[in-house]
Structure 1
Amino acid sequence: MPRFKSPHLLVAESGADRAGHGLRRTMGLFQLICFGIGAIVGTGIFVGLSDSVAQAGPAVVVSFVLAAITCVFTALSFAELGGAIPVSGSSYSFAYAGLGESTAFLVGWCLLLEYGISISAVAVGWSQYVNELLHSLTGLQLPHAVSAGPGDGGIVNLPAVIVIAMAAVLLVRGVRESARATAAMAAVKLVILVAFCAIGFSAFKDGNLVPFSPAGLGGIGAGTTAAFFSYIGFDAITTAGEEAKNPRRDIPVAILVCMGVVTLLYCAVALAATGAIGGDQVAGRPAALSYVVNQVTGSTIGGGVIAFGAVVAIASVVLAVMYGQTRILMSMSRDGLIPRVFEKVSPKTATPVAGTLIVALVFALPAAFASLDAVMNLCTIGTLAIMAVVNVVVIALRRREPTLARTFRVPLYPVVPLLGVGFCLYLMYETGWTTWVQFAVFLAMGLLVYVGYGRRNSTLARAAAVTPDATDAVLQEA
């Protein structure tokens, strides 16, 4: 029989609605919006744009819109659940309430891809722009052997390790400090991208958009899958449920504002880049935005400014995504599904210091030795699977918990969450069969971990061992 936790029990156990809990409520609506933008805007647009253009050509704008539609459907579901269940566990906790413990564990396992692996992928992208910035300032670059992993022809990617270490240090100092840094970096990246659009549109030529879709609908579909990586991270806002001042009101608003701002910005950047120099010049180009500005201005100064913005932007993504990963692991640890070390919160800094350092160490390894392409598709399919589950959870909880207080409701229910599931499945299909095989192996590993450790050590299992009806009693009491 599946083990469920009611939303009320999840909130009660997290301490989200009581004083004296280890985490502190310091984030207002503005900080949440900055945190969301900080988690989203980074490698996907600064590095991944060239891959999307390589697939779709100038029609990459359409790909960004389709990827945004996929995310908007799910963002509405996240908004409803984030306001109703304001805890740090995000989609993991939502799945626990709506679909049961085993599904929740696999969602948490997939979150290792969305958050953990994307930390590594983003750090690799940061390394590319560090080299671009150094080149524009000094004419020199880091030796390839220490700025790229073996998959990209190097030995070890030291800049990628350094940015993860810096994010970990900032996170263990406290959420208030991290939020301030994220807000500052979000402002810098928005100014830089707006400046890029101004430069790109100043050289815009209609002829550069012809042919608009050189690979047809298939290219647009493949470009949509690549563009989707640019939106990964918006759900990180829900991981701040226990550190937001008014999570039931602010989390839904922050999610919807972030999605609107980011979508408009991405479409403008894609149109400016391809309209300025043509899709064939952007496609497959490392540090593509800097290259576009250099070509338009005839100088490396503008490209250096863009590279500086990218260094700041991508660093903020590492910070925000690592924050989300540690909070999800903390929720899973509370439930006994993973070791207890991840739930320990420092009384001095009110942060999970041990969990943060472990996450930094584990995901610095693939950042040091893996290429960006090697992890991007696997990260994408894992994220899409989570998003599909979240849409299903909205439907499940509407039936299971009809009286649950919801500060936001998905409009046009159940059409919107069903469309969210459909779009997610389509983009998962577009990742290709090799990615599906890798994902299946990853899920099988997760299922083995759950059966071998999580199922026996979960708090619900221990409660049932003490009293056979304990789990039902706890759920009824909640």
Structure 2
Amino acid sequence: MSSLLRRKPIGDIAALESDHGGTQLKRSMNTFQLTCIGVGSTVGTGIFFIFSNAVPLAGPAVIFSFILAAITAGLTALCYAELASSIPASGSTYTYAYTILGEFVALLVGACLILEYGVSTAAVSVLWSQYLNDLLNRLFGFQIPDVLSHAPGDGLGFGINVPAIVLVALCALLLIRGTSESARVNAIMVVTKIGVLAMFAVIAFFGFDISNLEPFAPFGVAGIGAASGMIFFTFIGLDAVSTAGEEVENPKKTLPIALITALIVVTVIYLVVTFAAIGAQKYTEFEGQEAGLSEILQNVTGSEWPSIILSAGAVVSIFSVTLVTLYGQTRVLFAMSRDGMIPEIFSDVSPKTLSPIPNTILVAIVVALMAGLLPLDFLADLVSMGTLVAFTVVSAGVIILRRREPNLERGFRVPLYPVLPVLSILACLYLISTLHWETWLLFAIWLALTTVLYFTYSRHHSRLNV
């Protein structure tokens, strides 16, 4: 029992981070780059994919599904901002849980993050393959054969999604070169994607038809809630910001600003593009669409060029999402390895680039296999479950840490405490309740395997096992 509850001392985090030979990360990111990390890992999954799944559940009222998900994410972002400014270390929610709730809970949270980032990276890689095919078809009149661009679960007897595997490999190579280089490339791609989505919104509003919003909520409140649970995985970027706690300059100030700014930018983009999309196309036409936003532009303008630009922007956009989610995955594993929860190979850092190269290679191999062999609809709800559990832990952590460490230096404090953290917890639990039972079952199996890992390996190799 004592090992289950032992906590990593907040005051010793800096010492622990530099004590395990050669595992110190380089502080090289500024506020703008970190904000782009958040925007880059968020905008892309929701806008370029989720409509074909969420709109059939909620109809035009999907706009309220996005608002509900954004409110939940906003409440959690404030909690993240406080913890990130108080404990500016790598590992995000895992590290917060280790210092606040104890070792066993921390490992379970780490497992949630691994699920969240790993599955999300695979999911958006599959989506990239769809838009790449759309772009190739519009530009050159051909597509990659289905057997080489779809997983077996997509209706084929046999197949492998080669473009998705290639994308993961390219992102891994970029991360191996170093964090600062990856951050600069990501910032360029984020600016590009915002410009492309602004173009979509302007053109789509020219095709806006008020009759497309009728009936507004054909599936009632239940449909809005179900769509919100699915949509929530698109807010994973908020967590990705906090995984960079050890690699940003002046983290106590930079982390809160980047978190809140990224949330505002993302929410505005989502709502504007969603309203434009459901006004330009009847909700019954969204189901089953691949590269749906390109099709909307094609129908509105009757011309190919806006769709070509949109698909090209999606290819760039989803590349940046994959890059950031893969980055987040490696940093969580890095923190867990440094604490002894998983093997040391995940915290080995290159002396030249100060990035965890073996970790990145291993993660890329596993994620590439998932992206190449698993269908997209299998992956989305699992991401939402992992994200929502992590967000719940963060909100609870703020309350516990306020009581336990009232004098701890905090770069940011959640306003209206404790009301907002409690509302955040309740909102996350509500969205969790909307997920399918199959997701609950798979999640339970994942946590059971993590429990086995703790009692057979982690408990004995923990840095606190002295």
Q: TM-score, normalised by structure 1?
A: 0.94
Q: Verify: 1:171 aligned to 2:175, yes or no.
A: yes
How far apart, CA to CA, are the structure 2 residues paired with 1:380 and 1:35?
Answer: 19
* CA shift for structure 1 position 453: 0.6
* CA shift for structure 1 position 233: 2.1
* CA shift for structure 1 position 281: 1.9
How far apart, CA to CA, are the structure 1 residues paired with 2:60 and 2:120?
Answer: 26
How far apart, CA to CA, are the structure 2 residues paired with 1:42 and 1:319?
Answer: 12
* CA shift for structure 1 position 317: 0.7
Instruction: Give the structure 2 partner of residue 108 of structure 1.
Output: 110
Q: Verify: 1:242 aligned to 2:252, yes or no.
A: no
Q: Secondary structure at the match of 1:68?
A: helix
* CA shift for structure 1 position 384: 0.7
* CA shift for structure 1 position 21: 6.5
> Is the CA contact (8 Å cut-off) linking 1:11 and 1:85 kept in structure 2?
no
Alignment of 1:80-159 (within 5 A): 80-154=82-156, 155-159=159-163
Q: Verify: 1:48 aligned to 2:14, yes or no.
A: no
How far apart, CA to CA, are the structure 2 residues paired with 1:230 and 1:198?
Answer: 23
> Is the CA contact (8 Å cut-off) linking 2:114 and 2:332 kept in structure 1?
no
* CA shift for structure 1 position 15: 4.1
Q: Verify: 1:161 aligned to 2:165, yes or no.
A: yes
Instruction: Give the structure 1 partner of residue 204 of structure 2.
Output: 200
How far apart, CA to CA, are the structure 2 residues paired with 1:249 and 1:167?
Answer: 29
The count of corresponding residues between Structure 1 and Structure 2 is 459
Deviations 1:328-382 (A, max 9, x none): 1111111101000011110111110000000000111111100010111112111
* CA shift for structure 1 position 87: 0.6
Instruction: Give the structure 2 partner of residue 9 of structure 1.
Output: 12
> Is the CA contact (8 Å cut-off) linking 1:336 and 1:459 kept in structure 2?
yes
> Is the CA contact (8 Å cut-off) linking 1:189 and 1:310 kept in structure 2?
yes
Instruction: Give the structure 1 partner of residue 33 of structure 2.
Output: 31
Q: Verify: 1:370 aligned to 2:374, yes or no.
A: yes
Which range moves more in the overlay, 274-283 or 24-33? 274-283
| Structure 2 residue identity aligned to 1:390 | V
> Is the CA contact (8 Å cut-off) linking 1:74 and 1:390 kept in structure 2?
yes
Deviations 1:419-464 (A, max 9, x none): 1111111111100222111111111111111111101110111x2x
Specify which of 306, 318, 321 is matched with residue 317 of structure 1.
321
Deviations 1:390-417 (A, max 9, x none): 1111111111111111010111111111
Instruction: Give the structure 2 partner of residue 380 of structure 1.
Output: 384
> Is the CA contact (8 Å cut-off) linking 2:23 and 2:347 kept in structure 1?
no
How far apart, CA to CA, are the structure 2 residues paired with 1:102 and 1:69?
Answer: 30
Specify which of 342, 346, 358 is matched with residue 342 of structure 1.
346
Q: Verify: 1:419 aligned to 2:447, yes or no.
A: no
> Is the CA contact (8 Å cut-off) linking 1:43 and 1:126 kept in structure 2?
no
Q: Verify: 1:300 aligned to 2:313, yes or no.
A: no
Q: Secondary structure at the match of 1:48?
A: helix
How far apart, CA to CA, are the structure 2 residues paired with 1:15 and 1:418?
Answer: 35
Q: Secondary structure at the match of 1:25?
A: coil
Deviations 1:127-148 (A, max 9, x none): 1111011111011111000001
* CA shift for structure 1 position 214: 0.8
How far apart, CA to CA, are the structure 1 residues paired with 2:46 and 2:13?
Answer: 33
Which range moves more in the overlay, 386-395 or 43-52? 43-52
Instruction: Give the structure 2 partner of residue 475 of structure 1.
Output: none
Report percent identity of matched pairs: 48
Instruction: Give the structure 1 partner of residue 270 of structure 2.
Output: 266
* CA shift for structure 1 position 177: 0.8
* CA shift for structure 1 position 172: 0.4
How far apart, CA to CA, are the structure 2 residues paired with 1:11 and 1:383?
Answer: 27
Instruction: Give the structure 1 partner of residue 447 of structure 2.
Output: 443
Q: TM-score, normalised by structure 2?
A: 0.97
How far apart, CA to CA, are the structure 1 residues paired with 2:409 and 2:18?
Answer: 18
Structure 1 residue runs of 5 or longer lacking an equivalent are 464-478
Specify which of 237, 242, 257 is matched with residue 261 of structure 2.
257
How far apart, CA to CA, are the structure 2 residues paired with 1:236 and 1:212?
Answer: 34
Deviations 1:105-140 (A, max 9, x none): 000011111111111111111111110111110111
Structure 1 residue ranges (4+ consecutive) displaced by more than 6 angstroms after TM superposition: none
Q: Does the C-alpha gap of structure 1 residues 21 and 455 become closer, same or farther in structure 2, counting only changes over 3 Å?
A: closer
Q: Secondary structure at the match of 1:283?
A: coil
How far apart, CA to CA, are the structure 2 residues paired with 1:152 and 1:113?
Answer: 21
Q: Verify: 1:210 aligned to 2:214, yes or no.
A: yes
Q: Secondary structure at the match of 1:254?
A: helix
* CA shift for structure 1 position 283: 3.3
Q: Secondary structure at the match of 1:240?
A: coil
How far apart, CA to CA, are the structure 1 residues paired with 2:210 and 2:105?
Answer: 49
> Is the CA contact (8 Å cut-off) linking 2:349 and 2:357 kept in structure 1?
yes
| Structure 2 residue identity aligned to 1:108 | G
> Is the CA contact (8 Å cut-off) linking 1:22 and 1:346 kept in structure 2?
no
* CA shift for structure 1 position 300: 2.3
Deviations 1:160-214 (A, max 9, x none): 0000000000000011110110000000110011110001111111111111111
Instruction: Give the structure 1 partner of residue 292 of structure 2.
Output: 288
Which range moves more in the overlay, 3-12 or 218-227? 3-12
> Is the CA contact (8 Å cut-off) linking 1:330 and 1:342 kept in structure 2?
yes
Deviations 1:36-73 (A, max 9, x none): 11111112220112211111111111100000011111
Deviations 1:269-298 (A, max 9, x none): 111011012212223311111111010011
> Is the CA contact (8 Å cut-off) linking 2:27 and 2:247 kept in structure 1?
yes
| Structure 1 residue identity aligned to 2:49 | V
How far apart, CA to CA, are the structure 2 residues paired with 1:103 and 1:143?
Answer: 45
Specify which of 21, 24, 29 is matched with residue 22 of structure 1.
24
Instruction: Give the structure 2 partner of residue 469 of structure 1.
Output: none
Instruction: Give the structure 1 partner of residue 60 of structure 2.
Output: 58
